[in-house]
Amino acid sequence: MKNIEEAKIWLPSVAQRRDHLNKLFPVWTAKTLADHFFHQCEFYSDRPLLMMPGKVATYGEIWKRAQKIAKSFLHLGVRRGDHIAVLMANDPDFVALWISISMVGGIIVPLNTQLKGEELEYMIRQSDSNWLILHQQAGKQNHALTIKNIFEKIKTEEGHQLRQVICISNAQEVIPESFLSWDDFVNEGEKVSEVTLHKHWMQAKDPHQTAAIIYTSGSTGQPKGVMLTHDMMLRSGFATCLSRAYEDGRRVFAPLPLYHVYFVEEGLFAVSFVGGAMITSLGFSPLQSLELMKQYRANDFLAVPSMLISVLNQKETHPVNLDSLNALLCCAAPSPVPLWKRAVKELGVSEIGTGCGATEASSTTMLTEIGDSLEVVSSRVGKVKFAGVAGQEGFGKYSVRYKTVDPETGEDLPEGSVGELAVIGNVVSHGYYKKPEETAHAHTKDGWLRSGDLGRIDEQGYIQLLGRSKNIYKVLGEMVAPKEVEDVISLHPGVAQAYIVGVSDRLTTEAGAAFIELKEGIVCTKEEIRKWCQERVARFKVPRHVWFVHSDEWPLTATGKIQKFKLREIAGKKLS
């Protein structure tokens, strides 16, 4: 294998890379996260695993840190099956926590650092978290005071679950007295022997037990905690590694949070199979992103459209040599052909792709194939991704299968029909934590998970998404799938990105409301947008309302997804 630094100059073919992976993993052995990383950290001990501004942590260092934290958990009294919530910014210790919690048989509950008090309290309570580890400050918020109030309230209640809060000091304020400091927590672990740790580790080796409870965004109703097993998460990571043909030592840049399944599965777990590294930061900055990709010689860029657009705009004014960069995966929302062309030209990537999935299915289940045309990449979200030896028995080399069902009745639809996508396989969660009704509603009696996505599976197996079933709206009785019109508007030469939601209308029951971000320096009117649509789609699909927004005005999730429910709220306020 050539030196990793020369990857852009010499890169093995897709077939060679996959053959290398198949030789490394000729059979699938179900493991816990701790067992998997034990082997990988031993084999790639001196290689970097996490690279951030001013800090690089190797596989060996992460493993030693994980062992130390695991001892601290045992000294604290953590038992097998305990739920450990983590409210942290990206950090090497966060990676170590994924491993150490697995080592002692606990279940990690990663929490979104952008959440506010009521949201955090709900998740801490609903997940029955026994322990909570937090950065005093994360996600531009000082969480210590918020968690202090929650902890003091819960402690007064009979039968409460939350036993202790462990705080990592990273702000000027003194941490609350009721918290255990991180340094004291870690130092106390020295009292636990290697023999004791090994004994507990050996008792926590069931790969089919729940490893994580990861909460969905909760765009409708309360958030739901998705239960994922060790084996599900590792199979998904391996399938991404195989589908995207990760070469030995691939370095992936992802300015995304470590609490999100996208970063963990498509990045951290996937690169671990080839001794690769994750390059990340505490938050997203387009200039810093370019500098980190250059500094750490990134081979791959995991992005969402809003981030990709910002990086491309930044590169126009700050040219940076990214000669190591070869691949780009841009998910979360459709990207038009012009954006993909721009990315290929300005970033110099040769392997582009997109994908889709869900937390309930251990992140992506679909990926476009290396070498697919720009038209395919912009109009489809891929095929079921290769899983190789990690595939479901009876599914060939794949972990899942898809079909379409009637959104109202749940009945199977003929091949090629537009309907709600349903998925089944060995990476699909069996349910939501302590939510039996929601679990029953999402799953059919024969085990299929209804995704809530409307789509079509074509004759080649490619899947076209047509939006969320709840995002469909009707104009004079005619159904409109927002994505179809969004794609049309995105082809306008002056448009950077566009999103449409349905709003109430006295004349037509509902109407389309378009939010549009124009390219820098472009001037465009609402009438021009409507005329552009009128020439390309049926009259009832043309949005009645058009509003132009700046790039910093989009309501985004932590991973850069557009929150359509918030767009509906904004539209409602504008129209009122």
Amino acid making up residue 271: V
287-296: per-residue pLDDT in tens? 999 999 999 9
Residue-level pLDDT at 406: 86
| Confidence at 44, pLDDT banded by 50, 70, 90 | very high
As a whole number of angstroms, the distance between CA 89 and CA 257 comes to 7
Contact 61, 90 (CB under 8 A): no
- Dihedral, 435, 440, 443, 445 alpha carbons, nearest 10: 150
| Confidence at 466, pLDDT banded by 50, 70, 90 | confident
396-433: per-residue pLDDT in tens? 999 999 999 988 788 899 999 988 999 999 999 999 99
As a whole number of angstroms, the distance between CA 28 and CA 340 comes to 35
Count CB neighbours of 222 within 10 A: 13
> Mean pLDDT across the stretch 168-187?
93
Which of 188-202, 214-228, 340-354, 525-539 shows the lowest per-residue confidence on average (mean pLDDT)? Answer: 214-228
Residue 25's closest CA among 219, 238, 261?
Answer: 238
pLDDT more than 90, % of the chain: 76
Strand partners, 303: 330
Helix (H) or strand (E) holding 335: none
Q: What are the start and end residues of each CATH 3.40.50.12780 domain in the chain?
A: 228-468
Contact 32, 205 (CB under 8 A): yes
| Confidence at 218, pLDDT banded by 50, 70, 90 | very low
Distance of alpha carbon 216 from the chain centroid: 10
| Confidence at 115, pLDDT banded by 50, 70, 90 | confident
Residues 6+ apart with CB under 8 A from 417: 404, 456
> Mean pLDDT across the stretch 75-93?
97
Q: How far are the Cα atoms of 333, 404, 413, 497 from residue 416, in angstroms, in the given order?
A: 22, 8, 8, 28
| Confidence at 20, pLDDT banded by 50, 70, 90 | very high
Helix (H) or strand (E) holding 333: none
> Mean pLDDT across the stretch 386-403?
95
> Mean pLDDT across the stretch 247-262?
95
Helix (H) or strand (E) holding 518: strand 509-518
Whether residue 23 is predicted with pLDDT greater than 80 in this model: the reply is yes
Residue-level pLDDT at 8: 52
Record the tokens describing residue 128, joined without a space. Answer: 């029955």
pLDDT more than 70, % of the chain: 96
Q: What are the start and end residues of each CATH 3.30.300.30 domain in the chain?
A: 472-575
392 DSSP 8-state letter: P
Contact 413, 52 (CB under 8 A): no
Residue-level pLDDT at 160: 85
> Mean pLDDT across the stretch 137-152?
91
Helix (H) or strand (E) holding 463: strand 463-468
Q: What are the start and end residues of each CATH 3.40.50.980 domain in the chain?
A: 31-206
Helix (H) or strand (E) holding 71: helix 59-76
Residue-level pLDDT at 5: 41
Contact 503, 510 (CB under 8 A): yes
Residue-level pLDDT at 510: 84
Question: Hey, what CATH class is 472-575 in?
Answer: alpha beta
Residue-level pLDDT at 539: 82
- Dihedral, 257, 262, 267, 268 alpha carbons, nearest 10: 70
Distance of alpha carbon 134 from the chain centroid: 20
Residue-level pLDDT at 436: 94
Whether residue 4 is predicted with pLDDT greater than 70 in this model: the reply is no
CATH number of the structural domain 228-468: 3.40.50.12780
Which of 35-39, 221-225, 528-532 shows the lowest per-residue confidence on average (mean pLDDT)? Answer: 221-225
| Confidence at 124, pLDDT banded by 50, 70, 90 | very high
Query: 364 by DSSP, 3-state: which?
Result: strand
> Mean pLDDT across the stretch 536-563?
87
Q: How far are the Cα atoms of 173, 282, 319, 517 from residue 139, in angstroms, in the given order?
A: 17, 8, 29, 25
Residues 6+ apart with CB under 8 A from 139: 89, 112, 113, 114, 257, 283, 558
Q: Which of 3.40.50.980, 3.90.76.10, 3.80.10.10, 3.20.20.70 would CATH assign to domain 31-206?
A: 3.40.50.980
Residues 6+ apart with CB under 8 A from 575: 503, 513, 545
Q: DSSP of 464-517, one letter per residue?
A: EEEEEGGG-EEETTEEE-HHHHHHHHHTSTTEEEEEEEEEEETTTEEEEEEEEE
Instruction: Provide the angle, in degrees to the nearest 10, between the axes of the packed helices 59-76 and 194-202.
Output: 90
| Contacts by residues 537-540 (CB-CB < 8 Å, ≥ 24 positions apart) | 537/484, 537/485, 537/488, 538/478, 540/475, 540/476, 540/478, 540/480, 540/508
Residue-level pLDDT at 6: 43
As a whole number of angstroms, the distance between CA 516 and CA 497 comes to 6
Q: Reduce the secondary structure of 101-163 to three states and give it as a string.
A: HHHCCCEEEECCCCCCHHHHHHHHHHCCCCEEEEECEECCEEHHHHHHHHHHHHHCCCCCCCC
Whether residue 332 is predicted with pLDDT greater than 80 in this model: the reply is no
User: Quick one: CA dihedral 436, 438, 441, 445, positive or negative?
Assistant: negative
Whether residue 220 is predicted with pLDDT greater than 60 in this model: the reply is no
pTM of the predicted structure, to 2 decimals: 0.84
Residue 175's closest CA among 160, 164, 188?
Answer: 164
Contact 31, 234 (CB under 8 A): yes
Residue 127's closest CA among 437, 360, 433?
Answer: 433
As a whole number of angstroms, the distance between CA 303 and CA 335 comes to 11
Mean pLDDT over all residues of the chain? 92
Record the tokens describing residue 213, joined without a space. Answer: 């409870």
Residues 6+ apart with CB under 8 A from 73: 84, 100, 101, 104, 106, 131, 189
- β-strand pairing of 545-548 with 509-518: parallel
**Which of residues 158 and 430 earns the better pLDDT score?**
430
Residue with the two structure tokens 């082809």:
491
Residues 6+ apart with CB under 8 A from 526: 546
As a whole number of angstroms, the distance between CA 255 and CA 306 comes to 12
Distance of alpha carbon 415 from the chain centroid: 29
Residue with the two structure tokens 């001037």:
523
Contact 325, 293 (CB under 8 A): yes
Residue-level pLDDT at 496: 93
Record the tokens describing residue 226, joined without a space. Answer: 């998705």
As a whole number of angstroms, the distance between CA 164 and CA 73 comes to 11
- β-strand pairing of 463-468 with 164-168: unpaired
475-507: per-residue pLDDT in tens? 866 668 788 899 899 999 999 999 999 998 877
